[in-house]
Structure 1
Amino acid sequence: MNLYLIRHGESEGNRLGKIQGWHNFPLSDLGKRQALQLGDFFKHIHLDHIYSSDLTRAYDTAIAIGSYKDQTVHKWEKVREVNLGPLQGLTRKEIYEQFPQAKEKSILTSGLEGTESVEELTKRCAYIVDQLKRAHHKDDVAIVSHGGFISIFLMYLMLGENWGEVHRPFQIGNTSVTHIEWTESWKPLFHYVNRDHHLTTEAIASQKMGLL
């Protein structure tokens, strides 16, 4: 199986510097342009199935791919962003002011009450892998998801249940593509991570400046 993990285009939450989690922000104008560039990138890449987080910023990005491929996009709530509970909708500055303990850990795995736990995220990752194995072991599949969850899923693929004990090094930019291949042994091969060469100079410059 070939799996393409894709982060959504820039959202209004990204543009405003807000931590989004499960909050449902739409794509920004730049994000809509990025989604079209992403769709064009996939025009000549074979896909059997396209899945997306059910949050608007991801689904609308996936629709852009589907329109170039003339394929249906299937919503899959299991590939949503991490549920960040009380941190959602706040800027990093606001989070650190209101929840100083979040400085000690990653915002994604802070352990604060109301946020998704490492154990819950591990179960979610395991479920996704199991479902992909059962349904798509010989397919080419695209999943449009979110930066935080993609980075965690990559850690899970490498380290299994111990992923939360190790520093997470991945940067996942807007509409970046990560290509993973599984052979019959189901040992993942990482072809590339965070590829965004399909974006315009404007979009790449914004990402490097931390605006996305």
Structure 2
Amino acid sequence: MIDMNEEQVIYFVRHGQSEANKHGIIQGHAEFPLSKLGQMQAKLAADWFVETKLNEIFSSDLSRARFTAEAIGHRQNNGRLHVHSEPLVREVGLGPLEGMTREQMADQFPEMKSEALLTSGIDGTETIEAITLRCEKLTEKLTDLPSGNIAVVSHGGFISIYLMYLIIGSGWHKANRPFVIGNTGITKVVFTNGTPKIHYTNNQQHLQTEGDLTSSTVVY
């Protein structure tokens, strides 16, 4: 009997440590390059994927994700697997908070002591409605792809939100987000006929192969 199931295996990968991560700076859409540690993490993530034949790689259009994605692509199909830029998976826009440390943010925006960073509602930050629309469009795009293995290189905040969206839909912002996503943490989601199953989150085993190269995680 022929199995007619359509299955997309999606590996969500957070980018390697950036200079902003290293120094405790809020990024959002702001551009920061990978640190030296981040570049090593990207290489190790690429090594991990060698045993997995990827059909496609999509990346946030922010350079810290793009560098990580290109490191992965370089180890696939003799270095010929093209990285597709995908703005749908860029980090949540944080407007006036971008470029600040947490301490600076607390001084200038005292209300942030009790508000979640990604859903504060501060003027100039990305709205819940806009983030939800991105999640909807991303799901449509992923489930329309042919069956296969797909890597999506994104950001800790967006990945944690997208996982909540897969679980409870457009009400994702009303619930606690329990996911912690470290630099180059790998999360596996399988869509079968459009229905998602989360197999694991934040796998960082690849960062243990040359000593412990994990870096601090940011709780969003």
Give your verdict on TM over 0.5: yes
Give the structure with the larger helix fraction. Answer: 1
Determine the C-alpha separation between the residues in 2 that align with 1:132 and 1:34. Answer: 26
* 1:105 maps onto 2:105 in alignment: no
Q: Is the 8 A contact 2:73 2:83 kept in 1?
A: yes
Q: Quick one: which amino acid aligns to residue 163 of structure 2?
A: L
In the TM superposition, residue 187 of structure 1 has moved relative to its aligned partner by 1.9
- CA distance in 1 between counterparts of 2:124 and 2:72 reads 34
Report the counterpart of residue 77 of structure 1 in structure 2: 87
Task: Identify which of 135, 138, 141 aligns with 2:147.
Answer: 138
Q: CA deviation at 1:202?
A: 3.1
Counting aligned pairs with the same residue, the percent is: 46
Structure 1: give runs of 5+ residues left out of the alignment.
Answer: none
1:10 and 2:20 correspond: no
- Say if 2:156 is the partner of 1:156: no
Whole-Å Cα distance in 2 between the matches of residues 170 and 187 of structure 1?
Answer: 20
Measured in 2, the distance between the counterparts of 1:202 and 1:140 equals 28
CA contact (8 A) 2:92 2:118 kept: yes
- Distance in structure 2 (CA, Å) of the matches to 1:55 and 1:158: 26
AA of the residue aligned to 1:21 = G
Whether 2:203 is the aligned partner of 1:188: answer no
How many residues in Structure 1 have an aligned counterpart in Structure 2? Answer: 206
Distance 2:36 2:54 in 1: 27
Shift of residue 46 of structure 1? 1.9
Secondary structure, aligned partner of 1:86:
helix
Supply the distance in 2 between the matched residues of 1:86 and 1:129 (Cα, whole angstroms). 29
Q: CA deviation at 1:133?
A: 1.7
Spell out the pairing of 1:1-212 with structure 2 (5 A cutoff).
1-69=8-76, 70=79, 71-134=81-144, 136-184=145-193, 186-200=194-208, 201-204=211-214, 206-207=215-216
Q: Distance in 1 between matches of 2:30 and 2:176?
A: 26
Q: Which amino acid aligns with 2:116?
A: S
| TM-superposition CA deviations, 1:133-166 (whole Å, max 9, x none) | 22x1512111000000000010001010110100
1:103 partner amino acid: K
Question: Which 5+ residue runs of structure 2 have no aligned equivalent?
Answer: 1-7
Query: 2: distance between equivalents of 1:38 and 1:198?
Result: 6
CA distance in 2, matches of 1:12, 1:104: 26
Q: Output the amino acid matched with 1:36.
A: K
Normalising by structure 2, report the TM-score. Answer: 0.91
Letter of the 2:196 partner, please give it: P
Paired residue type of 1:44: E
User: Could you report, residue by residue, the CA deviation over 1:95-154 in whole angstroms, capped at 9, with x for unpaired residues?
Assistant: 1111011122211110100000111100010010011122x1512111000000000010
- Please, what is the CA RMSD of the aligned residues? 1.2
